[in-house]
């Protein structure tokens, strides 16, 4: 699917998933995250706020990614494309397919499959580690060739 048959292409997934610990939400009040960026808080505070809510609706991709590690229900509003605002970017759809093997209808809450999120986190972690190993090997080989 990626790299058109090349064996040196690795689909990493979204690296940011590693920053969000798996947890259980405790707040029944729904959280809505709009497309605008509001007050900028330190990342750990933002994660705590998002992960506290059992039900999260987000118009921003990475807050939704964070919510998937804790929320019971999630929903999203697709973002317009930067180049063509009348066309949606498809970022949410792609990410949901990456994580769950399917997408969900926009603006409708879906039950978060925590096992799928755990598998995705592990897959991304492995993929990034493999790329790190590949880069390390390339650098080691380049150093040997120069010497």
Q: How far is CA 82 from CA 46, 92, 105, in A?
A: 25, 14, 21
CB 26 within 8 A of CB 77: no
- Calculate mean pLDDT across residues 108-118: 98
Average pLDDT over every residue of 63-87: 89
Residue 104 lies in a domain: yes
Whether 4 maps to a domain, the answer reads no
**Which residues on adjacent β-strands are paired with residue 32?**
57
Q: What is the DSSP string of 79-118?
A: PBPSS-TTSB--HHHHHHHHHHSS---TTS-EE--HHHHH
Contact residues for 71 (Cβ-Cβ < 8 A; gap 6+): 25, 51, 53, 54, 55, 56, 112
pLDDT at 145 over 70: no
Which residues span the domain enclosing 21? 15-146
Q: Which of helix, strand or coil describes residue 12?
A: coil
Mean pLDDT over residues 83-112, rounded? 91
Domain count within the chain: 1
pLDDT score recorded for residue 134: 84
Would you state the pLDDT for residue 116? Answer: 98
For residue 8, being part of any structural domain is answered with no
The SS3 call for residue 46 is helix
At 73, give phi and psi (nearest 5°): -130, 145
Residue 7 lies in a domain: no
> Is 121 within the bounds of a domain?
yes
pLDDT at position 69: 97
Examine residue 1 and state whether it is found in any structural domain, yes or no: no
pLDDT > 90? residue 13: no
Considering only residues 140 and 23, tell me which one the structure prediction assigns the higher pLDDT. Answer: 23
Structure tokens at 126: 């492995």
Task: Kindly report the backbone phi and psi dihedral angles of residue 44, in degrees, each rounded to the nearest multiple of 5, phi listed first.
Answer: -65, -35
pLDDT, residue 42, reads 83
Average pLDDT value for the chain: 87
| Region at 107 (left for phi over 0; alpha for psi -120 to 50; beta for the rest) | left
Asked if residue 9 is part of any domain, the answer here is: no
Q: Assess if residue 105 is contained within a domain.
A: yes
Judge whether residue 136 has pLDDT over 90.
no
Among 108, 85, 113, CA closest to 98? 113
What local confidence, expressed as pLDDT, does residue 49 receive?
A: 93
């Amino acid at each position: 699917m990626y790299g058109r048959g090349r064996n040196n292409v690795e689909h990493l997934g979204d690296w940011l998933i590693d920053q969000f610990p798996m947890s259980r939400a405790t707040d029944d009040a729904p959280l809505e995250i709009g497309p605008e960026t509001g007050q900028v808080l330190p990342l750990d505070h933002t994660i705590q706020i998002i992960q506290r809510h059992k039900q999260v609706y987000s118009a921003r991709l990475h807050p939704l990614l964070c919510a998937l590690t804790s929320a019971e229900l999630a929903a999203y509003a697709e973002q317009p494309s930067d180049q063509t605002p009348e066309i949606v970017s498809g970022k949410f759809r792609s990410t949901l397919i990456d994580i769950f093997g399917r997408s969900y209808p926009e603006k409708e809450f879906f039950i978060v499959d925590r096992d799928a999120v755990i598998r995705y986190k592990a897959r991304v972690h492995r993929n990034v580690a493999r790329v790190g190993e590949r880069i390390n090997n390339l650098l080691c080989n380049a150093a040997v060739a120069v010497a």
